[in-house]
A = this chain, B = another copy of it.
Amino acid sequence: MADDRGGAGGPEAVLAIDIGGTKFAAGLVGAEGEIIAAERVATPPGGEAETLWKTLTELIDSVLAREPATRVTGVGVGCGGPMTWPEGAVSPLNMPGWRAFPLRARLAGRFPGLPVRVHNDAICLAAAEHWRGAGQGSADMLGMVVSTGVGGGLILGGRLIDGGTGNAGHIGHVVVDPGGPACRCGGRGCVEAIARGPGLAAWALDQGWVPGATGARAEGLYEEAAPASGRQLSADAAAGDPIALSALARAGRALGIGIASATHLCDLDIVTIGGGLSQAGPPLFEPLEEALRAHARMDFARRVRVVPARLGQDAGLIGAAALIIHPTRYWTASA
- Residues of chain A having any CB pair with chain B under 8 Å: 82, 139-140, 154, 156-157, 159, 161-178, 183, 185-190, 257, 260-262, 264-269, 291, 294-301, 303, 332
A175 contacts B267, C-beta separation under 8 Å: no
How many chain copies does the complex carry?
2
Give the complex CA separation of A165 and B298 in angstroms: 12
Please tell me if the beta carbons of B268 and A265 are within 8 angstroms of each other in the complex.
no
Q: B139 contacts A295, CB within 8 Å? A: no
Decide: A261 and B298 in contact? CB cutoff 8 A: no
Separation of A298 and B167 alpha carbons in the complex (Å): 10
Task: Choose from B140, B161, B174, B189 the contact partner of A157 (Cβ within 8 Å).
Answer: B161
Neighbour of A188 across the interface among B189, B268, B294, B332, CB < 8 A: B294
Q: Are A161 and B257 in contact (CB under 8 A)?
A: no
CB distance from A268 to the nearest CB of B (A): 7
Known interface pairs A156-B156, A168-B156, A298-B185. Does A265 touch B266 (Cβ–Cβ under 8 Å)? yes
Complex interface: chain B residues within 8 A of A154 (CB): 265-266
CB distance from A81 to the nearest CB of B (A): 9
The complex places the Cα of A157 from the Cα of B176 at a distance, in Å, of: 26
Q: Name A's interface SS.
A: loop
Q: Within the complex, which residue of B162, B177, B303 is in contact with A178, where a contact is CB–CB below 8 Å?
A: B177
A209 to chain B, nearest CB (A): 24
CB contacts (< 8 Å) of A159 on chain B: these are 157
Given A297-B185, A298-B185, A332-B157, verify A264-B165 contact (CB < 8 Å).
no
Query: 14 A-B Cβ contacts within 8 A?
Result: A82-B300, A140-B164, A156-B156, A157-B162, A167-B300, A168-B265, A173-B297, A177-B178, A186-B297, A187-B294, A187-B295, A188-B295, A265-B265, A266-B266
With a cutoff of 8 Å between Cβ atoms, the chain B residues found around residue A178 in the complex are 176-177, 257, 291, 295
What residue in chain B is nearest A185 (Cβ atoms)?
B297
In the docked arrangement, what's the CA distance between A183 and B175, Å? 18
Q: Tell me whether A156 and B163 are in contact (CB under 8 A).
A: yes
Rounded to whole angstroms, the CA-CA distance of A296 and B187 in the bound complex is: 7
